[in-house]
Amino acid sequence: MPDVPVAVRRPQRADARRNFDALLAAAREIFAESSTDASLEEIARRAGVGIGTLYRNFPTRRDLFEAVYIEEINQLSAAALAVADQPPWEALRSWLDRFVQYVVTKRAVVDALNRDSELFKSCRITMYAAGEPLMQRAREAGQVRPDASFDDVLRMISGLVSGAFVDEAQRARVIDFALDGIRIRP
């Protein structure tokens, strides 16, 4: 599965690439914890770099949002490849668990992105290309309801994740209940 082209190119030097990746990881965490209004200085601090390094890699806040979003999509694609050898239902379920993490990050940055942009459309195509074959394989194995579309499942999970939960365990239980609704058991 092809990666979505990142608008900001990854640095070539290993140390600069590590800083770039640390900035993305810190931004993802902070955006998920608080919001896109988070301080860029806090992101740089958590990444263990100076603010100049952040601005060298991401000249604008929007550049950082886009890079975080693209990285999430690329990780979803990698997750699909990583679970492809698992039995059909387990592969789909593992990927959907990773999708839940993506939704948390997406919720934080999506308002800062243009949903009609080519970047956003390209990311959606990449995400579907990664996950849809897993659902199709589970359906062909007789483990997923034939009337449940991949889009239905993603929207269901996205809606559930956007709700408030007492803790992560409760969220996981609610997602389990929902996914039991699409699963066919022998």
Along the chain (186 residues), what's the average pLDDT of each consecutive run of 10 residues?
52 83 91 78 95 92 86 89 95 94 74 71 88 96 95 93 87 93 89
Residues in the chain: 186
> What's the token pair of residue 19?
């800083």
Q: Tell me the helix, strand and coil percentages in the chain, rounded to 5.
A: 70, 0, 30
The pLDDT value given to residue 37: 77
78 three-class SS: helix
CB 57 within 8 A of CB 8: yes
Q: Tell me the C-alpha to C-alpha distance, in Å, between residue 182 and each of 19, 20, 156.
A: 42, 39, 11
H/E segment holding residue 161 = helix 150-161
Residue ranges of the domains in the chain?
14-180
Q: What is the Cα 116 distance to its own chain's centre?
A: 18
The pLDDT value given to residue 111: 65
Q: Is 50 left (phi over 0), alpha (psi -120 to 50) or beta?
A: beta
The pLDDT value given to residue 8: 47
The pLDDT value given to residue 62: 84
Q: How many CB atoms lie within 10 A of CB 22?
A: 17
The pLDDT value given to residue 184: 92
CB 68 within 8 A of CB 105: yes
The pLDDT value given to residue 114: 65
The pLDDT value given to residue 7: 42
Q: What is the Cα 131 distance to its own chain's centre?
A: 12
The CA distance from 40 to 80, in Å, is 31
Class for domain 14-180, per CATH?
mainly alpha
